[in-house]
Amino acid sequence: MHEMLGADADDERVLSVFDFDGTLTRRDSFVPFLRFAFGRTEFIRRIFTLAIPSLRFLFRHMNRDELKAHLIAKFLTGVEAQWVEHKAVAFCDRYWTRLMRPSGLSSVAAEVESGAEVTLCSASPALVLGPFAKRLGIKLIATELEVVDGVLTGRISGNNCRCENKVIRLEAVYGLLSEYRLRAWGDTRGDLELLAAAQDAHWRHFHSAWRRGRKRRAKKRKEQASVVQLKSENQANTDDQQGA
């Protein structure tokens, strides 16, 4: 049994889950981190060698997870984990203000103050996001990198923490999400399964409407429809199980 984590007026256990990149931040964090950590010249040299995988991704001959695997292998193979951790702390200190959305920070603080259990759930590497989670005062679930004898192998340990893997990772830590009042914040296709599992789902909640524009609003309607469809499928599966 999981102990009581957070409660609202009805004594429900509340789990508040925030995506990181694009939700709490104004932009992606991992690629800027790599540029910061390795320096502009070395970053450009290495990223140039990823031109072919990037083109394969653009023409849909490679999925996002495969492209990310190439990126991690190119930059982090044979690198000491402690070096990455130190660079992550420096990156967080330098870019916190320009990277983080003030409205997102206020929302995280409000969830913590409410007594909810609050965690980040991100596809970015946990080694990179550790300092951000610590500064926010919340827990962290993110993509884990394989480490052998203190050195990164350049491979992901387990699965990239996006799409259905966000739900899987959360349930590995907290148990069935259906046992909680789940609040979730996300902004991309990789968050839809998480949002579908939530009673309180917040799509691009901290984005300014004028920045999204007409095209992004159309995309939002399409992806919100996907959330509704996923919720319907989840409910149908629950009903089937109860009727079995």
Sign for the pseudo-dihedral over CA of 37, 40, 41, 45? positive
pTM: 0.83
Residue 5's pLDDT band (cuts 50, 70, 90): very low
Beta-carbon-side half-sphere exposure of residue 165 (alpha carbons within 13 Å): 15
What rounded mean pLDDT belongs to the chain?
89
Residue 11's pLDDT band (cuts 50, 70, 90): confident
Residue 209's pLDDT band (cuts 50, 70, 90): confident
Amino acid 114: pLDDT: 97
Beta-carbon-side half-sphere exposure of residue 3 (alpha carbons within 13 Å): 1
Amino acid 58: pLDDT: 93
- Cβ contact 118:111 at 8 Å: yes
Q: Which amino acid is at 111?
A: E
Q: Please state which of the ranges 7-16, 101-110, 169-178 shows the lowest mean pLDDT.
A: 7-16
Give SS3 for 167: helix
Q: State how beta strands 139-148 and 181-186 pair.
A: unpaired
Domains of the chain, first to last = 14-243 (3.40.50.1000)
Tell which residue, 158, 198, 162, has the closest CA to residue 177: 198
Query: In this predicted model, what pLDDT tens digit does every residue of 99-158 receive, in sequence order?
Result: 999 999 999 999 999 999 999 999 999 999 999 999 999 999 999 999 999 999 999 999
Residues 6+ positions from 107 with CB-CB distance below 8 Å: 18, 185, 205, 206
Amino acid 3: pLDDT: 44
Sign for the pseudo-dihedral over CA of 90, 184, 161, 208? negative
- Report how far residue 192's alpha carbon sits from residue 153's, in angstroms, rounded to the nearest whole number: 30
Q: Which contiguous run of DSSP H or E holds residue 95?
A: helix 81-99
